[in-house]
Chains A and B, each alone.
Chain A
Amino acid sequence: MPPPTPAHDHVVHSESFLRSLMRRQLSLSVACAATFLAALFGLPLLNYFAPALMATRVAGFTLSWLILGVLFFPFVWVISWYFIKHSIALEEKEVAQVQHDKERN
Chain B
Amino acid sequence: MPTVPLFALIGGVDPWIFTFSFLTVAVTIWMGFRSARTSKTASDFFVAGRSVSVGWNASAISGEYLSAASFMGVAGMVMSSGYDALWYPVCYACGYLFLLLFIAGPLRRFGAYTIPDFAEGRYDSPIFRKIAVCFVLFIGFFYTMPQMKGAGVTLAYIFPGLPYWAGVVLVGAVITLNVALGGMKGITLVQAFQYWAKMFAISVPLFVVMAVFGFYNGHVAANVAYGETPAVAGSGPGIERQALPAKAPQDNAWIAPFGPLTTKAVNAAAAALPAAQRAAYLAEHQRPYSLLYTYSLIIALVCGTAGLPHILVRFYTNPDGVAAKRTTMWVMILIGIFYVFPPVFGVIGRNLMPELYTGVGAKGTDKIVLELPTLLGARFGVLGSILSGITCAGAFAAFMSTFSGLLVSMTGALAHDVYGRMLRPQANQKERLVAFRTSAVLVGGVAIGLGCFVEPLEINFMVGQAFAIAAASYFPLLFMSVWWRGMTMKGAAIGMLTGGLCALFAAALTNFSTLALDKGPMGKLFSGFAPLNAFWAQHPLLRILSEQPAIWTVPLAIGLMVVISRATAHQVPGDIRMKMLVLHAPENLGLKQEYIKEHQAEAAH
Q: Report which A residues bind B (CB closer than 8 A).
A: 1, 3-7, 12-13, 15, 18, 21-22, 25-26, 29, 32-33, 36, 40-41, 44, 47-48, 51, 54-55, 57, 59-62, 64-65, 68-70, 72-74, 76-77, 79-81, 83-84, 87-88, 91-92, 94-95, 98
Convert B215-252 into 0s and 1s, putting 1 for each residue whose CB lies closer than 8 angstroms to a CB of A. 01110110001101000111010000000000000000
Is there contact, CB below 8 Å, between B329 and A47?
Answer: no
Q: How many angstroms between the C-alpha atoms of A59 and B87 in the bound complex? A: 21
Is there contact, CB below 8 Å, between A69 and B326?
Answer: no
Q: A18-B580, A73-B340, A80-B100 given as contacts; is B594 within 8 A of A7 (CB)?
A: yes
| Residue B42 interfacial (CB < 8 Å) | no
- The 8 Å CB contact of B220, one of A12, A22, A62, is A62
Q: A29-B102, A47-B258, A62-B225 given as contacts; is B217 within 8 A of A12 (CB)?
A: no
| Residue B584 interfacial (CB < 8 Å) | yes
Q: How many angstroms between the C-alpha atoms of A69 and B88 in the bound complex? A: 10
Across the interface, which residues of B come within 8 angstroms of A87, CB to CB? 105, 325
CB distance from B395 to the nearest CB of A (A): 22
- The 8 Å CB contact of B329, one of A21, A36, A68, A77, is A77
Is there contact, CB below 8 Å, between A69 and B585?
Answer: no
Convert B99-113 into 0s and 1s, putting 1 for each residue whose CB lies closer than 8 angstroms to a CB of A. 011100100000000
Q: Chain B residue with minimal CB distance to A33?
A: B101
Is there contact, CB below 8 Å, between B340 and A79?
Answer: no
Q: Chain B residue with minimal CB distance to A75?
A: B94
Is there contact, CB below 8 Å, between B234 and A3?
Answer: no
9 intermolecular pairs with C-beta atoms under 8 Å apart: A4-B588, A5-B590, A40-B302, A41-B295, A48-B287, A57-B232, A59-B217, A73-B340, A77-B333
Convert B271-296 into 0s and 1s, putting 1 for each residue whose CB lies closer than 8 angstroms to a CB of A. 00000000000000001000100110
Q: Chain A residue with minimal CB distance to B335?
A: A73
Is there contact, CB below 8 Å, between B580 and A65?
Answer: no
Most buried by B among A7, A36, A44, A98: A44
Per CB-CB distance, the 8 closest pairs between chain A and chain B, nearest first, are A60-B217, A60-B221, A73-B336, A47-B257, A3-B590, A91-B586, A29-B101, A80-B329
CB distance from A54 to the nearest CB of B (A): 7
Is there contact, CB below 8 Å, between B287 and A88?
Answer: no
Q: How many angstroms between the C-alpha atoms of A50 and B369 in the bound complex? A: 33
**Residues of chain B in range 552-597 having any CB-CB distance to chain A below 8 Å:** 577-578, 580-581, 584-586, 588-591, 594
- The 8 Å CB contact of B589, one of A3, A25, A68, A81, is A3
Q: How many angstroms between the C-alpha atoms of A13 and B594 in the bound complex? A: 12
Is there contact, CB below 8 Å, between A76 and B86?
Answer: no
CB distance from A72 to the nearest CB of B (A): 5
Given A5-B590, A72-B94, A76-B336, 5 additional A-B pairs, CB 8 A: A13-B578, A18-B577, A21-B581, A48-B257, A77-B332
Most buried by A among B100, B232, B233: B100
- The 8 Å CB contact of A65, one of B83, B97, B233, B483, is B83
| Residue B452 interfacial (CB < 8 Å) | no
Is there contact, CB below 8 Å, between B340 and A55?
Answer: no
Q: Chain A residue with minimal CB distance to B344?
A: A69
| Residue B255 interfacial (CB < 8 Å) | yes
| Residue B269 interfacial (CB < 8 Å) | no
Is there contact, CB below 8 Å, between B90 and A73?
Answer: yes
Across the interface, which residues of A come within 8 angstroms of B483, CB to CB? 22, 26
**Residues of chain B in range 320-345 having any CB-CB distance to chain A below 8 Å:** 321-322, 325-326, 328-329, 332-333, 336-337, 339-340, 343
**Residues of chain B in range 91-136 having any CB-CB distance to chain A below 8 Å:** 93-94, 96-98, 100-102, 105
Across the interface, which residues of B come within 8 angstroms of A57, CB to CB? 221, 232-234
| Residue B298 interfacial (CB < 8 Å) | yes
Q: Chain A residue with minimal CB distance to B302?
A: A40
Across the interface, which residues of B come within 8 angstroms of A94, CB to CB? 585-586, 589
Total interface residues in chain B, CB < 8 Å: 61
Q: How many angstroms between the C-alpha atoms of A40 and B220 in the bound complex? A: 22
Is there contact, CB below 8 Å, between A51 and B256?
Answer: yes
Q: How many angstroms between the C-alpha atoms of A24 and B101 in the bound complex? A: 13
Q: Chain B residue with minimal CB distance to A70?
A: B340
Q: Chain A residue with minimal CB distance to B483?
A: A26
Q: A22-B580, A41-B298, A57-B234 given as contacts; is B87 within 8 A of A68 (CB)?
A: yes
Is there contact, CB below 8 Å, between B329 and A84?
Answer: yes
Is there contact, CB below 8 Å, between A73 and B287?
Answer: no
Q: How many angstroms between the C-alpha atoms of A15 and B483 in the bound complex? A: 15
Across the interface, which residues of A come within 8 angstroms of B217, CB to CB? 59-61
**Residues of chain B in range 418-477 having any CB-CB distance to chain A below 8 Å:** none
Is there contact, CB below 8 Å, between B590 and A22?
Answer: no
Is there contact, CB below 8 Å, between B586 and A95?
Answer: yes
Across the interface, which residues of A come within 8 angstroms of B86, CB to CB? 65, 68-69
Is there contact, CB below 8 Å, between B594 and A73?
Answer: no
Across the interface, which residues of B come within 8 angstroms of A64, CB to CB? 83, 256-257
Is there contact, CB below 8 Å, between B94 and A91?
Answer: no
Most buried by B among A74, A77, A88: A77
Across the interface, which residues of B come within 8 angstroms of A62, CB to CB? 83, 220, 225, 255-256
Q: Chain B residue with minimal CB distance to A47?
A: B257
Q: How many angstroms between the C-alpha atoms of A103 and B596 in the bound complex? A: 26
Across the interface, which residues of A come within 8 angstroms of B105, CB to CB? 87
Is there contact, CB below 8 Å, between B101 and A61?
Answer: no
- The 8 Å CB contact of A76, one of B94, B232, B257, B298, is B94
Is there contact, CB below 8 Å, between A83 and B225?
Answer: no
Q: How many angstroms between the C-alpha atoms of A57 and B228 in the bound complex? A: 10
Q: Chain A residue with minimal CB distance to B91?
A: A40
Is there contact, CB below 8 Å, between A76 and B221?
Answer: no
CB distance from A90 to the nearest CB of B (A): 9
Q: How many angstroms between the C-alpha atoms of A71 and B483 in the bound complex? A: 31
Is there contact, CB below 8 Å, between A80 and B83?
Answer: no
Q: How many angstroms between the C-alpha atoms of A61 and B344 in the bound complex? A: 12
Q: How many angstroms between the C-alpha atoms of A91 and B298 in the bound complex? A: 32
Is there contact, CB below 8 Å, between B589 and A95?
Answer: yes
CB distance from A86 to the nearest CB of B (A): 11
CB distance from A68 to the nearest CB of B (A): 5
Q: How many angstroms between the C-alpha atoms of A60 and B100 in the bound complex? A: 34
Q: A18-B580, A57-B234, A80-B328 given as contacts; is B97 within 8 A of A36 (CB)?
A: yes
